Structure formats: structure tokens, C-alpha cells
Amino acid sequence: MTTATPTWSADDLGAVRRLKALGRSVEQHFVGRRLALDLLEVAVLAHEHVLLLGPPGTGKTDLVSRFAAGLGGRPFVRLLTRFTEPAELFGPVDVPAFQSGDQYRFRTEGMLPRAQVAFLDEIFQSGSPILNTLLTVMNERVFHNGHDVETVPLVTLVGAANSLPQDPSLLAFADRFMLRLTIPPVASSRLDELLEKGSALSRSTSAAGEDHAWIDAPALERLGRQLAHVELGGVLPEYADLIRELLGQGVTLSDRRIIRGLRLVAAAALRSEQVRAATADLWPLEHFWSDPAHAPVVQEAVRRRTGGPGDDPDEPARTATRLLAEARIVARQVGPGSPPAAVEHTLRQLNTLRLELRRAVPGNREGERELTSIIDSTLALLDQG
């Protein structure tokens, strides 16, 4: 008897594809940030946290803000300093409750304890009271507010810093960021492309639709729960072998990091729409190192197993079917009566998909015809306007 190949539901697949379509939409505003968006997508699926390392002025805040806007809400964004007060993150003190002598509590509306996505720049600059509270928020998703314990809807917290801290007291906090990525400036190697992108964005009027929710909170919650149903048995021996190799080479990996690394593998499998994790789904582990000095060792060990260069791990897995599915999702974002700017924004995304289809699957005439038809139908919306 033949056993049917397990698969995800149509709702789950649709949500995953919308998440990837969000990443592609945000990518159009940046140069050389595809990998950062790949990691954000994995982090959202795994409900893990990301640390972006690099100098100021590399677009980290804008990148995270645009991505978070597509998740249905504005991110909570703050620049931390050693003078930052807890109230700046967790809300003003509830004065009536304090005056009544009942309790010292914060009013958390619109603040970090109510956020789905948070971006904290210079995250290691704040003092111990803030970092100790963030530990609980990040790890347990709860906020102790006076006598109450509030559930925090945080999907992912993205931190940014010039480098990892040297202070041993901050290492436990830094270990909460499962994924780390260095964001270098791109002007030295891709100046022409950067200037062209900047010029195009300065002329763009496509602000309409930028805050469109590509995927909502319930869908993200459901996808997070679905990670438990990813079959990891086939990749566990390879994962264990990788961990033994890294530990044998002196790479620092906490027990927490080793265990939660499996969630990253499961998230990568779900992102590639697979129920069974494969060796290729180890790719996020290139970024789960603790010490930057160990990053090249981790990267080489992972790439040796996945067989890919790691620059764009999603590229080899993109098929005509998935690209066309994303095109259909993108095209549904506009219709009769949509503002011309929103239609033009959608057309740019569709043209990007068409170019990728030609590159990934050369000579796929049937796929190109369908995508061209989608573009023509979208283009016709401009005439209707």
C-alpha cells in the first residue's frame, strides 16, 4: 500500500507564501539585504529573535520597520542608551494605581509589552533593570506588571548593535538572539545599484499599500504551532553530527542554543513548504553562532552539509510553481478602483518575479505566459482608473 506524502493545508501554504511575498516586496527597497529578509522570515516562523550587527546607516531600522508593517502593525522601535528609562520601553507609570498605594505598574498600551515585532537599536547600551525585564519578555513572552503577569504577543525582537558585548554579564542576554547576521555597507561593492535604487525610491509615489498586512497575527500563531508537526527524524543524525563537530572545534554553543536550533531547521522546512525537514534546511544554522570569531567555522561546517553557498538559500528551491503562486498572491493585492501608485507598485513586484522565473527556470514558456497574463491584467487596471 502506498502512503500518501504528507503536506500542509491550503491555509498554511497560503500563509507561508504571503510571508515570502512580503519579504520580496520589502527587498525592492534595498540592495544586498536578501539574506537579512530570509532570516527575518525564519525568525517569524520560529518565533525566535534576531541580532543585526554592523555600523549605523545600513538601513537596519527601515528594513525591520517595513517588514513589520506587513505583519499587520507598526513595530515598536527604540534607540537605547545607558540613560534609557524602563518607562520608555514598557510605558508610563500608572499614577492613579501608584497614588492609591496599591501597586507600581506601567500603562503598556502602545509599548513593547503589546508589540508583535520590536526593534531595539544599540540594544546592549541599556542598564541591567531593562535587560533583566527583556530576558523574561523574550524568553517567556510575559511581562510582570505590578501584581499582574501580562502575556506578551511578541513574535520576534530584532536587536541591533555595532558588535557583541564583551561584558560577561551580558552574555546570557545576548544568547537569547538565536540568529545573528552582520549587515555591512554595500556602497563599496554595489555603488551603482545603490544609487539607482535610491534614485528610484526618491521618485516613487508607492506609499499607498506599504502598510498592507500581508499576513495576520492568527496566521503567524498557527504557523508557529505547526512547527511541532515538521518531521525532523530524517535530519536529526546530520544535526547531531554537526553539533558534535562544532563543539569538537571549540565553538561555544549553549544547551539552549543547541535545542532551539531544531526550531530553526523546522522553520526552514516550513518556509520551503515541506513537512519533512531535509539537509538543505540546516541553512539557518550558519547564523546561530555565539562568538563572531566562530562564525566562519560554523558557516563552513553548515555549507559543507547543505552543499550551497548560503548567499541566497531560498534561490535553488524556488520552482516555477512557487513563483507563479507568489505572483497570484501579489496580483490579488490590487483590483478595480485601486490607486494607480498601488497598481504600479504591484507591477514592479510582478516584473521582478518574471525576471526571477526566467533566471530560475529558463525556457519555461507556459509559466512565462501565465505570468505575462497576470501582468497584463494588472496593467489593465491603470486604464480603468
Encode pLDDT of 88-102 as tens digits: 999 988 767 665 666
pLDDT at 207 over 50: no
What confidence score (pLDDT) does residue 189 get?
58
The average pLDDT across 5-28 equals 88
219 grid coordinates: 496566521
**For residue 212, which phi and psi values (nearest 5 degrees)?**
-65, 135
What confidence score (pLDDT) does residue 327 get?
82
What confidence score (pLDDT) does residue 194 get?
60
What confidence score (pLDDT) does residue 146 get?
83
Encode pLDDT of 30-39 as tens digits: 878 889 999 9
pLDDT at 206 over 50: no
- Is residue 110 within 8 Å of residue 104, measured between CB atoms? no
What confidence score (pLDDT) does residue 246 get?
93
Average pLDDT score, the chain: 84
The larger pLDDT score, comparing residue 112 to residue 60, is at 112
pLDDT at 27 over 90: no
The average pLDDT across 104-132 equals 89
pLDDT at 268 over 60: yes
Encode pLDDT of 161-200 as tens digits: 888 887 777 878 888 999 999 887 766 556 666 666 665 5
What confidence score (pLDDT) does residue 276 get?
95
Report residue 309's pLDDT band, with 50, 70 and 90 as the boundaries.
low
User: 218 burial class (0-12, 13-18, 19+ CB within 10 angstroms)?
Assistant: exposed
Report residue 208's pLDDT band, with 50, 70 and 90 as the boundaries.
very low
The answer to which of 52-66, 94-108, 188-202 has the lowest mean pLDDT is 188-202
* Cα 55 to Cα 297: distance, rounded to the nearest angstrom: 23
User: 275 burial class (0-12, 13-18, 19+ CB within 10 angstroms)?
Assistant: middle
What confidence score (pLDDT) does residue 212 get?
61
The answer to which of 140-144, 211-215, 333-337 has the lowest mean pLDDT is 211-215
- Is residue 91 within 8 Å of residue 113, measured between CB atoms? yes
The average pLDDT across 310-330 equals 61
The answer to which of 44-53, 223-232, 337-346, 352-361 has the lowest mean pLDDT is 352-361
What confidence score (pLDDT) does residue 317 get?
38
pLDDT at 373 over 80: yes
What confidence score (pLDDT) does residue 101 get?
64
The answer to which of 7-16, 144-153, 279-288, 358-367 has the lowest mean pLDDT is 358-367
Domain boundaries, the chain: 10-191, 230-316, 320-384
CATH topology of domain 10-191: Rossmann fold (3.40.50)
37 grid coordinates: 529578509
* Closest CA relative to residue 287, chosen from 38, 78, 96: 38
DSSP notation for 7-39: ---HHHHHHHHHHHHHHHHHHTT-SS-HHHHHH
The larger pLDDT score, comparing residue 204 to residue 337, is at 337
The larger pLDDT score, comparing residue 372 to residue 355, is at 372
What confidence score (pLDDT) does residue 204 get?
53
pLDDT at 310 over 60: no
Q: Name residue, grid cell 499582574.
A: 148
pLDDT at 331 over 70: yes
The larger pLDDT score, comparing residue 312 to residue 103, is at 103
